[in-house]
Chains A and B, each alone.
Chain A
Amino acid sequence: MWQYTFKRLLQGLITVWFIATATFLAMHSVPGDPISGERAATEAIRANLAARYGLDKPIGEQYVIYIGNFLKGDFGISYTQQNRQVNDIIREHFPVSATLGILAVLFAALGGVLWGALTAIYRNRLPDTVIMFLVILGISVPSFVFAALGQLALVNINNFFGFSVLPVAGWGTVRHMLVPSLVLGMGTMAYLTRLMRSSMLEIIHSDYVRTAKAKGLPAERVFLKHQLRNAILPVVTVLGPAIAAITTGGFVVELVFAIPGLGRYFVQAVQQLDYTVIMGTTVFYGAFLVFMVILVDLLYGWIDPRVRVQ
């Protein structure tokens, strides 16, 4: 078990290094750089700025310096906000995105499992049809549409009641968290519902369940211990990539609900060609996702004894 974990961690580190290198090369191969502005600067000033930020050195040297700093935990200073360290930006804004993401994953996972089980139990009857219709909507409709509709609904609700039931945008209290994380988790919840449904249906008709029922096991035990627990497995497998989708999908929700998360900095950094922030956020997200996937794999092994490595 530990050997397996160690091997996966090592693989993860190599993946992260690869992500960093690929991003570095991609960044430097597009035209433009972070120090040129709309008001054109003279050659002398450009040269000064380039020297100050080390952009005048050959690419190979810049890369080595960058990796060196990165291993020391120093991601540098943002080019757009020249008095903010990238570490500060990540430290201040990631917790917000993480909160949003954790809640979204919780909504998606818990909701997906429960709705999926419900549709499987009521297979082909009215609840199943209704929920599956909603599921198709949930999978196909993009998150920014949900976000916009959700916000509009809030405005109308607040208007109708005459007081602020839930905040329309912003961040800072528990009430601000509800709708954005729901919107963010919606697509994944729909997807997991469908997955859970097919998984449950397969299991309901499987041999060991019929055996358990024939043995006369109480219904609750059959349902919980055998059906649900087995049906969850595919959902857990998918949870790793689902966390990835939710983490990176946070940008749209953050923009629409005016939430100070890291996703917005991530996207804006690319638009501004802010090298340090691009590298810092990409490597950070990359590392986060790689290790999330490893964690989920280990979790899977814990849930399903058949998968444990010898």
Chain B
Amino acid sequence: MQEPISTEEGFTRSAIKQLAVLGASAVLIIVAVMYLLNFAASLTSTNVPGAAGAVDLENNEISIYLREDPPQLDTTRATDAVSGLVLGHLMEGLLRYDENFEIEPGLAERWEMDGTKATFWLREGLRWSNGEPITAHDFVFAWRTTLDPKVGSQYSFIFYPIKNAEAANTGTMPLESVGVRALDDRTLEVELEQPIAYLDKLVAFVTYYPISEKFYKSTNDRYGADAESLLYSGPFTMSSWVHGATLRMEKNPYYWDAENIPLDAINAAFITSDSNTLLNLYKDKRIALVDLTAEMLEGAMQQRWHLDRFMDGSVFYIEFNHRPGRLTANLNLRKALRYAQDDGELVDRVIKLPGYLPAKSVFPIWLRGVEGTFREEYPAPESEYNVELAREYLEKAKQELGISEFPPIVLLADTSPVATIASQYYQEVFKKNLGLEIVIDPQIFRQRLAKMSSGDFDLVLSGWGPDYNDPLTFADLFASWNLNNRGHFNNADLDAQVRIAQNSMDPKVRMDAFGEIQNILFDQVVFIGNYERGRVYATHPQVKGIVRRAIGAENDYTRAYIVPETTTP
């Protein structure tokens, strides 16, 4: 006779059967809800079809990523790198940078400088993406609009070498008085306050791009808001833009050099800044390029990925508060701090990101000098790591300041991962070697700037990215009149040298002045160099011709092209 099943077990079995049924219905419910939601979503928004993969040989397209949704595609107001990247593909200016970093003709076919006057001749037959002609008036309109005090552009300062630009920007003179005018549709005449040697580098900058006045006004204050509210002068047009999700650029048939643009389209198919996500997307063959962190580097080399390296242009340093009455205004204290730390150690042992170099000078390593690079012709003064010397200077500082012990010193910093470990490193080093107590003050970016401007710090981890390819963009950082000199460093010799560099037309004289500036900044310990940022990146083996630069669009796909798959890696 069979053992009767106990009621308990029977109960359990029936319960499990019911659970199984419920579980199956749950799965069906979820699947149904997913399809329902997707359907609802497709009714209210436009979805760009998913990426066809990093490389689409048939359609001649590649897929890339963007770190964030470009916040501002209005060239009169754009300030950030992502907007700059996108704009570098959609628009063009009078002049532009080639793959060797040299200036070459863009929309202008030639130009001439004569004292305070510069003339640019536009090419024949230039057209916007709607077929309308691009004229010199478009440049006049764009430049005046940027300088309009009501627009309040953060980059209006980049026009200040032009006559009356600063006055117009502060409202003391009308916009029509600014030294730029269209002699005719194809000739642009620029009048400067003083002759400057770097005008050609300036006009390659995004803020100098042209804007069609007619189109701008027709968008009713929505210029730059989405793909339909922009007109394109560059190699690509923006065919669709789903904010925060995707951005698609297609070849611009009206571009004057369209036949030399290899790709038919570029899909920015993913918008995220998470480096792991980007690496996964690259491994999954969804994007054509990715920056690598240190952990990824070894794996990448083992798998024979195609690796490259470039300096992204920016320099990072500890800035001091030089305001009278602050401890850090004392030169001996600053010397003590510099001797007590080793910038090689910060980059190699603490930060450990591939591509970073120690910052020996405010002038980064890629800047051009007279013939070769600036740092070859004017080597940066060498500092050394010398704890005993540091302690001597600390004693001298104590005597001069009339104190027996230093109070806590505030180190202001961003909350980014690199800034966090750098600030912790300095806290430890200065404590160990000098017995100083460093208090870290982490602030988000805008708050860090606000505290710098109000002088609410002793040390701050700061940095600078170049606007144009001339050492002046770094040299004037600590000039007493520069509003970006938030530490308020004030030195008459430095100011004089900056003026020479600004006003002289002789390359040797200017470079000598930059060399002097480099020395003064070192002797006065105006800052302590941290690192020059660079990156190591991997590119899809079938994509060639991507250019990455320190100035201008950080990634330049305008000359990129696809090669067919080969059997050899």
Contact = CB atoms under 8 A, between A and B. Distances in A.
Interface of A: 30-42, 44-45, 48-49, 52, 80-84, 89, 92-93, 95-96, 99, 102-103, 106-107, 110-111, 114, 117-118, 121-122, 148, 151-152, 154-155, 158-159, 164, 167-174, 176-178, 213, 219-220, 222-224, 255-258, 260-261, 264-265, 268, 270-273
Nearest to B273: A255
B446 A118 contact: no
Contacts of B273: 255
11 contacts: A32-B449, A36-B450, A41-B152, A80-B71, A84-B243, A92-B45, A151-B276, A219-B14, A256-B274, A257-B277, A258-B281
Interface stretch (B19-27, B257-265, B509-517): B19-27
Contacts of B30: 103, 106-107, 110
B170 A121 contact: no
Interface residues of B, number: 84
B284 A168 contact: yes
A256 B171 CA distance: 46
Given A223-B15, A255-B274, A114 B152 contact: no
A155 B280 contact: yes
Given A103-B30, A118-B19, A48 B152 contact: yes
B11 to A, nearest CB: 5
A148 B279 CA distance: 11
B432 interface: no
B277 A256 contact: yes
A112 B97 CA distance: 59
Contacts of A167: 50
Contact of B29 (A31, A34, A110): A110
A114 B19 contact: yes
A160 to B, nearest CB: 12
A31 B71 contact: no
A145 to B, nearest CB: 11
B445 A114 contact: no
A264 to B, nearest CB: 7
Contacts of A173: 38, 50
A256 B272 CA distance: 7
B277 A32 contact: no
* Most chain B CB atoms below 10 A, which of A32, A154, A155, A213: A32
Contacts of A148: 276
Interface in B178-215: none
Contacts of A270: 444
B307 to A, nearest CB: 19
B245 A83 contact: no
Contacts of B33: 102-103, 106
Given A82-B72, A260-B245, A39 B484 contact: yes
B446 A36 contact: yes
Given A39-B79, A114-B22, A260-B242, A169 B454 contact: no
A172 B47 contact: yes
Given A41-B152, A92-B243, A106-B29, A224 B284 contact: no
Contacts of B72: 80-82
Nearest to B11: A219
B14 A40 contact: no
B79 A258 contact: no
A169 B34 contact: no
Contacts of B156: 41, 45
Given A44-B170, A155-B284, A39 B154 contact: yes
Nearest to A46: B152
B297 interface: no
B439 interface: no
B157 interface: yes
B56 to A, nearest CB: 14
A272 to B, nearest CB: 7
Contacts of A93: 243-244
Query: What are the 3 closest A-B residue pairs judged by CB atoms, nearest first?
Result: A260-B244, A32-B450, A40-B483
A83 B149 contact: no
B524 interface: no
Nearest to A107: B30
A52 B152 contact: yes
Contacts of B223: 83
A110 B37 contact: no
Given A95-B41, A121-B16, A260-B242, A159 B283 contact: yes
Contacts of A38: 79, 154, 449, 484
Nearest to A164: B284
B71 A81 contact: yes
Contacts of A36: 446, 449-450, 453
A248 to B, nearest CB: 18
B270 A169 contact: yes
Contacts of A110: 26, 29-30
A169 B286 contact: yes
B277 A52 contact: no
B155 interface: yes
Given A170-B50, A273-B444, A82 B77 contact: yes
A204 to B, nearest CB: 10
Contact of A41 (B37, B283, B483): B483
B240 interface: no
B123 to A, nearest CB: 30
A231 to B, nearest CB: 12
A31 B451 contact: yes
Interface in B207-229: 221-225, 229
A304 B110 CA distance: 82
A155 B244 contact: no
A39 to B, nearest CB: 5
Given A158-B284, A169-B270, A45 B169 contact: yes
Contacts of B447: 30-32, 273
Contacts of B150: 48, 52
B239 interface: no
Given A219-B11, A255-B277, 4 more contacts: A35-B152, A49-B152, A110-B29, A258-B271
B293 interface: no
A28 B491 CA distance: 36
B447 to A, nearest CB: 4
Interface string B400-434: 00000000000000000000000000000000000
